[in-house]
């Protein structure tokens, strides 16, 4: 699991930095100046590694949070999508929005609005499938809330 490896690496870097900090704090004045500078450089490197690892962990957490929200939204939408052969509809209260492509929704989980090609024939501009259901006409009194 990648995120557990990143967390482990970050903790290892923090532990190394803490050990170096303890060593520097406990060092007596007899340490040579060069040795002190070397330990300080090691401490700075360990802290930089820890910061990088923790930034990666933060990125992973944000990506997981984004994915969870995406899945929650898909589940909410899925509960409002109804199949009425040969296409799908999205129910929004009393309003029936659509039609949407059956193939695109079944294969990709995407609601692709069908285009009215001619009397009773609807086409998907994404997968290029055509659907027909004689007698259906969109209501002229319903206007989409889309901004142009």
The pLDDT tens digits of the residues spanning 104-119 come to 999 998 999 999 887 7
**What Å distances lie between residue 117 and 17, 46, 78, 85, 99, CA to CA?**
67, 64, 27, 18, 13
Q: Do residues 65 and 85 both lie within one domain? A: no
Whether residues 61 and 87 share a domain: the answer is no
pLDDT the model gives residue 147: 44
Q: What percent of the chain is modeled with pLDDT above 70?
A: 79
Average pLDDT, the chain: 79
**CA 72 to CA 79: how far, in whole Å?**
11
Question: Are residues 85 and 31 part of one domain?
Answer: no
- Do 64 and 25 lie in a common domain? yes
Q: Are 88 and 105 in contact (CB under 8 A)?
A: yes
Is residue 50 located within the same domain as residue 99?
A: no
Judge whether 23 lies within some domain. Answer: yes
With cut-offs at 50, 70 and 90, classify the pLDDT of residue 136.
low
Give how many domains the chain has, as a whole number.
2
pLDDT in tens, 56-74: 888 888 899 999 999 998 8
* pLDDT tens string 86-102: 889 999 888 899 899 99
Does pLDDT of 1 surpass 50?
no
Residue 102: inside a domain: yes
Query: Does residue 142 surpass a pLDDT of 50?
Result: no
* DSSP H/E element including 98: strand 95-100
- What integer pLDDT is reported at residue 117 of this predicted model? 87
Domain match, 12 and 68 both: yes
Residue 16 and residue 56 in one domain: yes
Task: Indicate if 65 and 97 belong to the same structural domain.
Answer: no
Q: Show the domain range for 39.
A: 2-77
């Amino acid at each position: 699991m990648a995120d557990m490896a990143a967390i482990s690496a970050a903790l290892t870097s923090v532990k190394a930095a803490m050990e170096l900090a303890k060593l520097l704090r406990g060092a007596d004045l007899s340490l040579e100046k060069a040795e002190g500078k070397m330990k300080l450089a090691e401490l700075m490197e360990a802290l930089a590694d820890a910061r990088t690892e923790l930034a990666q962990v933060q990125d992973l957490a944000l990506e997981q949070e984004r994915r969870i929200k995406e899945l929650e939204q898909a589940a909410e939408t899925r509960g409002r999508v109804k199949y009425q052969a040969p296409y799908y509809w999205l129910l929004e209260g009393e309003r029936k929005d659509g039609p949407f492509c059956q193939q695109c929704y079944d294969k990709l989980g995407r609601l692709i609005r069908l285009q009215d090609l001619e009397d009773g024939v609807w086409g998907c501009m994404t997968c290029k499938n055509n659907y027909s259901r004689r007698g259906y006409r969109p209501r002229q009194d319903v206007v989409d809330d889309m901004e142009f």
